[in-house]
Amino acid sequence: MSHATQAVRTTGRGLRRRRAIVEAAADLFARRGYPAVGMDDIGAAAGVTGPAIYRHFESKASVLAAVIDGIIDAVDRPGPAAGSADGPPAEPAITLAEHIARYASAVAERRELMAVFVREVHHLPDEQAQQLRHRQRDLVARWRVLLAQVHPDWPAEQVRTAVHAVFGMLNAVGTFASPLDDEDLADQLTALASHALALPRRR
């Protein structure tokens, strides 16, 4: 990454333009597929002409990486702190249920982006793919720790299998068209995931 590129990215105008590029690319990747979209297409859709797009991104693969980073940021965004500073921490079941609800809501609101995630992730360069795997492993590990606390009698492999199965179901939103609106789809996904993980019903 050149110093000039880094400088453009960190200015207010540069950050706004970068967001516009990422949003335009996500839409194009979802509608046409990654291989069929060129940097000129992305630039035109974002209102960035000619080589100016390369001031923000060095390649189409780096744009895809930014799109996928945005998806991970959305599904793993922090929620309200569980419990309070003066009180006991929230029960693992409550914390895990909150994680599930936030993840389900994020994917339901980003169905086209999830399609990009599912279909195009293999186009990531090795470095970005490794970073993505690290973030995914970290997220899965946190859910596994919580689920093991909820079900201390479950064997480790049962915990692992259950968490991976739930992630597979949630991410599958990008593979089919649902007539449900975002809120109803999120509610159904949350209920299915909670049932699969045998979480106690919240009062």
113 and 19 together in one domain = no
95 lies in a domain?
Answer: yes
For the stretch 65-87, what's the b/e string if a residue is b when 16 or more beta carbons lie within 10 angstroms of its beta carbon?
Answer: bbbbebbbebbbeeeeeeeeeee
Reported as a single tens digit per residue, the pLDDT across 169-187 is: 999 998 998 999 999 999 9
Reported as a single tens digit per residue, the pLDDT across 6-16 is: 544 556 777 88
12 lies in a domain?
Answer: yes
> Which residue segment(s) compose the domain that 53 sits in?
3-58
84 and 47 together in one domain = no
Total structural domains within the chain: 2
54 and 79 together in one domain = no
Can you give the CATH number for the domain in which 19 is found? 1.10.10
Residue 199 pLDDT level (bands cut at 50, 70, 90): very high
Mean pLDDT of the chain: 88
What was the pLDDT predicted at 79? 61
186 and 127 together in one domain = yes
What was the pLDDT predicted at 88? 54
201 lies in a domain?
Answer: no
94 and 191 together in one domain = yes
48 and 136 together in one domain = no
Mean pLDDT value across residues 61-80: 87
64 lies in a domain?
Answer: no
Reported as a single tens digit per residue, the pLDDT across 95-110 is: 999 999 999 999 999 9
